[in-house]
Structure 1
Amino acid sequence: MVRLTADLIWKSPHFFNAIKERELDLRGNKIAVIENLGATEDQFDTIDLSDNEIVKLENFPYMNRLGTLLVNNNRITRINPNLGEFLPKLHTFVLTNNRLTNLAEIDPLASLPKLQYLSLLDNTVTKQPDYRLYVIHKLKHLRLLDFKKVKQQERVEAAKKFHSKEAEEQAKKVPTKTFTPGELADAQDATKHAPKVVGPTPEQITAIKAAIVNSQTLEEVARLEKALSTGQIPAEFAMLKPDTNMAEASEEADKMDTDGQNQDSVADEQKQDDGSTPIEED
């Protein structure tokens, strides 16, 4: 963090810019607080405070000459409601990429009587409903907002929409999520005590396979096979534990596999016998 001292002001670059205005360059100094600008003796048309760490736009001395203020890429969340009293000739204000979030935070800009060119791009406030119309309504002399010309049709529409204080206040209301005491604790408790999802045990898999063998309908076979493929345990097998019945089910499943292997062996032997017996010809 760097303090904005009179010494820093005197040592910073100052020059005539492209439009022949006298400019003071204070950008990129990690300045957090605006102070000591009286040291400029109001000798500048433009002051560039971009790329710093300013949070509040305040502490300006009376500067009757200043017409352009550049404060993009800072952390501005608050603007002095009486800013116009200190910067009566300010016509161009660049606030791009700051942290203004709601319409109420830009109300102080209405105190600037000569403001014609304004940029609030890359501030959260620009995503608020009716943002553009609200700004046009508050800043009567604005000609360019976010680098887009303010049209007469927009002025008429803004005047109709915000014809009363009640309409303005309604626009500034930001919906917030209500918090119910204990809601988070209840959610955490429910998560804590929720049953853990586990896959079927080897015993349950064996029992399901045995049940598939003994199924009487295709629908039952499909249901059990789906349970095996997805890892979901059917209700009738959920409480199954290794016991005598489980042993019997296991033996039945093993028998099913053995029978299948025996049938394959018999088939192979028959095939070999058929192939090895020569055909006698008369």
Structure 2
Amino acid sequence: MRITLNVLENAPQCWSPCRERTLILRGIKIPAIENLGTTNDFFECIDMSDNDIQRLGNLPPLKMLKTLILTNNRLNRIADDVMESVPNLVALVLSQNNLSTLGDLLPLKKAPRCFERISLVDNPVSKLEHFRPFLIHLVPSLRFINFQRVTLKEREEAKKLFEGEKPEVDIAKIAIPRSAQAPEPGIDADVNMGILNGSGGSGAAPSPMTNGTGPPPAPPLIAAARSLSQEDIDRIKKAIMEATTIEDVRRLERALQQGILPDDLKGGVKRARTEGGGAGTQG
């Protein structure tokens, strides 16, 4: 089941034990994160546990969000820019997923200073050597990892391992970025979402827009978007953010993929061009 406007409107809401307004999207077989912009950044906690999400990414700006829960999904990737969308995130719960290498955790380096808690219990990565000291070095603000407090001794160990003129461990060797690894099947499937959020398609899991039929070729999508002027692209992106129905969101996303400016947006462009460049038609 995709995250549609109807799903969001009918999802349970409650106050968490921490007194956070919580949106519950548990156990409904969600394949990918999408359309959370329609929540109007109202919730402090979003719980998407027990779904089929493979990639943590495609988040709109969510300044209110403090806790994000994705326990028991199929996560094997974290988008490079995901932390930029959640400037006030305090806790991230990714227990029982498939994150397997220290390189998978590198995007967490961009976490905000208020980020204090993370759970990666029952992920293969949590069993690797240097897992805790690496996370402590990567995100110094962390106070709890896998529900265990970070101690002063652990911080000193992390400094000894990874800092100084002669660190004992070379991070470049133990934490290889995803971009430097062999591409995975479907890595460019969500390139359309990358265009929308400004990341340029920098890595993604299979897009829900393909409905399980496999990813569309990346180059045509990129070429289509580039056939529009930057002004037109910005106009479509703004319309997507202001859309009130999932049908409008899909229509506008499809127009952006195809490089076509929708008719209902052409009027404003034409007026702008007439006002700013009328003389150009004479020469």
TM tier relative to shorter chain: 0.5 to 0.7
Structure 1 equivalent of residue 134 of structure 2: 134
Structure 1 equivalent of residue 104 of structure 2: 105
SS in structure 2 of the partner of residue 61 of structure 1? coil
Structure 1 equivalent of residue 171 of structure 2: 168
Q: How many residues align?
A: 173
Write the letter of the residue equivalent to 1:22: R
Write the letter of the residue equivalent to 1:143: R
The runs of at least 4 aligned residues of structure 1 exceeding 6 Å deviation read none
Q: Write out aligned runs for 1:1-282 (5 A).
A: 2-113=1-112, 114-163=114-163, 167-172=170-175
Unpaired segments ≥5 residues, structure 1: 174-282
Please list the CA deviations of residues 166-196 of structure 1 after superposition, one character each: whole Å capped at 9, or x if unmatched: 71113336xxxxxxxxxxxxxxxxxxxxxxx
- Alignment partners' CA distance in 1, 2:122 and 2:89: 22
Q: TM-score, normalised by structure 2?
A: 0.59
Which structure has more relative contact order (CA 8 Å, sep 6+)? It is: 2
Unpaired segments ≥5 residues, structure 2: 177-283
- Alignment partners' CA distance in 1, 2:145 and 2:107: 16
SS in structure 2 of the partner of residue 159 of structure 1? helix
Please list the CA deviations of residues 52-86 of structure 1 after superposition, one character each: whole Å capped at 9, or x if unmatched: 00001111000000000000100001111111210
- Alignment partners' CA distance in 2, 1:10 and 1:41: 12
Aligned-residue offset at 1:111:
1.1
Please list the CA deviations of residues 71-112 of structure 1 after superposition, one character each: whole Å capped at 9, or x if unmatched: 010000111111121011111000001000000001111211
SS in structure 2 of the partner of residue 99 of structure 1? coil
Write the letter of the residue equivalent to 1:160: K
Q: Radius of gyration: which is bigger?
A: 1
Contact 1:130 1:171 in 2 (8 A): no
Structure 1 equivalent of residue 244 of structure 2: none
SS in structure 2 of the partner of residue 31 of structure 1? coil
SS in structure 2 of the partner of residue 156 of structure 1? helix
Aligned-residue offset at 1:150:
0.1
Aligned-residue offset at 1:29:
0.6
Give the RMSD, CA atoms, in angstroms: 1.6
Contact 1:61 1:86 in 2 (8 A): yes
- Alignment partners' CA distance in 1, 2:14 and 2:131: 36
Contact 2:2 2:30 in 1 (8 A): yes
SS in structure 2 of the partner of residue 93 of structure 1? strand
Aligned-residue offset at 1:4:
0.7
